[in-house]
Amino acid sequence: NAGVTQTPKFRILKIGQSMTLQCTQDMNHNYMYWYRQDPGMGLKLIYYSVGAGITDKGEVPNGYNVSRSTTEDFPLRLELAAPSQTSVYFCAIQGEKLFFGSGTQLSVL
């Protein structure tokens, strides 16, 4: 997926651990998003950013934090992982279309 890079691809966390999901783009787009997708469910917006230094909550922000210090990077932070945060996480950028990274599969056990 040229343009949007997500790391890691897979991760298993224990309850209460913290981690940061990384998202980096090289397309110089202002709009970036974090979605989560649970099995059989649609994509739910966690946080989004309209440019460096500007972030806002989406539909399901509880338990997450974000920052946007540069145009390129939009990391998602889980401070106290809970089983309910087991999901697949997608970062996306908005250019002419919404373009997704390849996702991070996270399990919290």
Partner 1 sequence: RKEVEQDPGPFNVPEGATVAFNCTYSNSASQSFFWYRQDCRKEPKLLMSVYSSGNEDGRFTAQLNRASQYISLLIRDSKLSDSATYLCAVNANDYKLSFGAGTTVTVRA
CA dihedral 5, 11, 13, 17 (to 10 degrees): -30
Site string for partner 1, 62-101 (x = CB under 8 A): --------------------------x-x---x--xxxxx
In the block, residue with structure tokens 């945060």 = 85
1 is an interface residue for partner 1 by CB under 8 A: yes
Through-space distance between the first and last CA atoms of the chain, rounded to whole angstroms: 29
Q: Is 23 exposed, middle or buried (0-12, 13-18, 19+ CB in 10 A)?
A: buried
Q: Which of residues 26-65 bind partner 1 (CB under 8 A)?
A: 31, 33, 35, 40-45, 48, 50, 58
Residues that bind partner 1 (CB under 8 A): 1, 31, 33, 35, 40-45, 48, 50, 58, 88, 90, 94, 97-103, 105
